[in-house]
Amino acid sequence: MPQSSHNRLAELHNLAEHAHAAAAAAHGKMDHLAAHELSKKALEYSKNAYRHSEEMLAERPASDKA
């Protein structure tokens, strides 16, 4: 996997992690509306990271899959 692809995947996972942390902080402050919105954004980022990971795995050469 080229370094740029790895960096993009790491960035996507970091975005999801940050959104999850922000949602937890909002929930802790009893701001449930913001927590809900941030949780939805975190889920979107997580799904995007997963989808990108799956695409990268599918594009790997067969010799790398073993």
Domain that holds residue 54: 3-60
Checking if the pLDDT of 51 tops 60, the result is yes
Average pLDDT over residues 11-26: 94
Q: How far is CA 42 from CA 4, 35, 60, 63, in A?
A: 23, 10, 27, 34
Does residue 31 form part of some domain? yes
Does residue 65 form part of some domain? no
CB atoms within 10 A of CB 47: 12
Does residue 41 form part of some domain? yes
Average pLDDT over residues 53-60: 86
Checking if the pLDDT of 56 tops 90, the result is no
CB atoms within 10 A of CB 42: 20
Total domain count, the chain: 1
Nearest CA to 20 among 37, 2, 3, 1? 37
Checking if the pLDDT of 43 tops 60, the result is yes
Contact 56, 5 (CB under 8 A): yes
